[in-house]
């Protein structure tokens, strides 16, 4: 009679480990609703490199603190590595039977990746594309060094959690945004602090993914250099001037506009690559998420340079938040939600970089 009270819940805790903070979410499917059972976030007060023992100790401390709050149930977890810790490379291979693909991708990884130490490699099969008269296999290769994966796994096991999968950011984002329509092609642009990410997916199937080394950090660094401020001061100035029509705000915007335009052009190149590669209709609009989307000047720069309609989106739209209430920084929660939504039968027993 009491056994059900101690049954391990079938909804894992999704743990999004970023360079500046950790977000945790647990989601359950109840009837026709997705209910957020628990959610918490903690900032990390360490250098934003996404690797090293000091970083992972800070991650473990943050996770223990959130678990101690008592909102989360069970100990099964699906996590991701910080984006900067995973290496991505697009490959185009001859079309081959599915059972031959893993060996071919591993051979390419050994030939092209020079990480300086052993690494775990996995891949996303984006699909068959045309190259001239030939059909080729479009592959997104993912790799992370063994040392980073081991540090990450040790940090989580030290919190009492059972890590059942290390997922990849692109698949987590696709799971979050593609859960309702399996055929709809979407462009998701995630503007973060150290990097920006461009994802194109059909439903939950990843077609294209690229990380761009431009984000809030680069903007703050340029402001600090031009205005002779510390990095912290530059970030504070950029954030506090959003709703003020002042000469200082104009100076700040003029300082970072070239970088914002560069980011928009990089996004435009991603869209062009997709259109040429898959020979399909170019998506008419993109959704913009991430902790830098508060910046109206950035949104406008992307609209102009990327030549695509862009709308700022709430990745938690459609999730029942009644148990947790409004979440601070809701545009940053897409990876955590996608990790929490990973099916248990897929996650169980799988560990790796993706």
- Residues 258, 265: Cα–Cα separation, whole Å: 10
The pLDDT-based confidence of 246 (bands split at 50, 70, 90) is low
Its domain, for residue 68, covers 11-167+314-354
Are residues 230 and 224 in contact, defined by beta-carbon separation less than 8 angstroms?
Answer: yes
Are residues 177 and 315 in contact, defined by beta-carbon separation less than 8 angstroms?
Answer: yes
Task: State CA 90 to chain mean position distance.
Answer: 17
Whether 6 is covered by a domain: the verdict is no
Residue 306 has pLDDT above 90, yes or no: no
- Residues 221, 36: Cα–Cα separation, whole Å: 37
Are residues 19 and 161 located together in one domain of the fold? yes
Name the token pair of 33: 């609703």
pLDDT, mean of residues 298-312 = 85
The pLDDT-based confidence of 295 (bands split at 50, 70, 90) is confident
* pLDDT (tens digit per residue) in 60-106: 999 999 999 878 999 999 999 888 889 999 999 998 999 999 999 99
Are residues 129 and 59 located together in one domain of the fold? yes
Residue 234 has pLDDT above 90, yes or no: no
Rg (CA), the chain: 21
Are residues 225 and 157 located together in one domain of the fold? no
Question: pLDDT at position 281, please?
Answer: 66
The pLDDT-based confidence of 214 (bands split at 50, 70, 90) is very high
Question: pLDDT at position 76, please?
Answer: 94
Burial class (CB within 10 angstroms; exposed 0-12, middle 13-18, buried 19+) of 273: middle
Whether 1 is covered by a domain: the verdict is no
Are residues 279 and 322 located together in one domain of the fold? no
Question: pLDDT at position 347, please?
Answer: 46
Are residues 199 and 153 located together in one domain of the fold? no
Whether 309 is covered by a domain: the verdict is yes
Are residues 298 and 332 located together in one domain of the fold? no
Whether 173 is covered by a domain: the verdict is no
Question: pLDDT at position 50, please?
Answer: 59
- Residues 245, 166: Cα–Cα separation, whole Å: 45
Residue 339 has pLDDT above 90, yes or no: yes
Q: What is the mean pLDDT of the chain?
A: 86
* pLDDT (tens digit per residue) in 113-147: 888 888 999 999 998 888 877 889 999 999 999 99
Question: pLDDT at position 239, please?
Answer: 80
Look up the pTM and report it: 0.88
Greater model confidence, 189 or 18:
189
* pLDDT (tens digit per residue) in 156-184: 999 999 999 999 999 999 999 988 788 88
CATH number of 328's domain: 3.30.420
Are residues 320 and 308 located together in one domain of the fold? no
pLDDT, mean of residues 13-42 = 92
Whether 174 is covered by a domain: the verdict is no
Counting residues of the chain whose pLDDT is more than 90, the rounded percentage is: 49
Question: pLDDT at position 242, please?
Answer: 63
- Residues 296, 293: Cα–Cα separation, whole Å: 7
Are residues 113 and 156 located together in one domain of the fold? yes
CATH number of 211's domain: 3.30.420.40
Q: How many domains does the chain have?
A: 2
| Tokens 């209709």, residue located | 281
Are residues 16 and 140 located together in one domain of the fold? yes
Are residues 251 and 228 located together in one domain of the fold? yes
Name the token pair of 221: 């660094």
Are residues 326 and 236 located together in one domain of the fold? no
Whether 175 is covered by a domain: the verdict is no
Question: pLDDT at position 187, please?
Answer: 94
Closest listed residue to residue 118, CA positions, set 109, 108, 126, 127: 109
Task: State CA 74 to chain mean position distance.
Answer: 24
Question: pLDDT at position 49, please?
Answer: 58
312: left (phi over 0), alpha (psi -120 to 50) or beta: beta
Closest listed residue to residue 161, CA positions, set 86, 84, 68: 68
- Residues 34, 306: Cα–Cα separation, whole Å: 33
Residue 346 has pLDDT above 80, yes or no: no
The pLDDT-based confidence of 293 (bands split at 50, 70, 90) is confident
- Residues 126, 139: Cα–Cα separation, whole Å: 6
């Amino acid at each position: 009679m009491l056994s059900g009270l101690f049954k391990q819940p079938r909804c894992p805790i999704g743990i999004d480990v970023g360079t500046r903070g950790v977000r945790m979410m647990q989601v359950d499917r109840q009837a026709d609703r997705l209910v957020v059972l628990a959610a918490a976030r903690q900032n990390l007060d360490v250098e934003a490199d996404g690797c090293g023992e000091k970083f992972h100790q800070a991650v473990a401390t943050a996770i223990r603190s959130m678990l101690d709050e008592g909102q989360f149930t069970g100990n099964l977890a699906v996590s991701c590595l910080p984006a900067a810790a995973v290496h991505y490379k697009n490959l185009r291979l001859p079309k081959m039977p599915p059972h031959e693909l893993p060996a071919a991708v591993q051979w390419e990884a050994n030939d092209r990746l020079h990480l300086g130490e052993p690494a775990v490699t996995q891949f996303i099969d984006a699909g068959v594309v045309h190259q001239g008269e030939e059909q080729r296999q479009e592959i997104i290769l993912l790799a992370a060094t063994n040392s980073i994966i081991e540090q990450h796994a040790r940090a989580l096991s030290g919190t009492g959690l059972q890590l059942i999968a290390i997922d990849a950011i692109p698949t987590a984002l696709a799971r979050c945004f593609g859960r309702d329509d399996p055929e709809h092609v979407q462009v998701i642009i995630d503007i973060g602090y150290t990097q920006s990410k461009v994802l194109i997916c059909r439903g939950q199937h990843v077609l294209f993914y690229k990380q761009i080394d431009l984000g809030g950090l680069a903007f703050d660094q340029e402001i600090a250099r031009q205005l002779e401020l510390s990095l912290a001061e530059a970030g504070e100035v950029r954030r506090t001037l959003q709703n003020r029509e002042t000469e200082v705000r104009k100076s700040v915007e003029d300082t970072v506009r070239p970088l914002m335009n560069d980011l928009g052009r990089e996004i435009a190149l991603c869209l062009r690559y997709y259109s040429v590669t898959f020979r399909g209709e170019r998506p008419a609009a993109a959704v913009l998420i991430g902790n830098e989307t508060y910046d109206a000047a950035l949104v406008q720069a992307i609209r102009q340079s990327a030549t695509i309609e862009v709308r700022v989106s709430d990745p938690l739209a459609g999730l029942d938040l009644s148990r947790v209430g409004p979440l601070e920084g809701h545009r940053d929660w897409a990876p955590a939600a996608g990790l929490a939504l990973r099916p248990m039968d897929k996650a169980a027993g799988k560990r790796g970089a993706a």
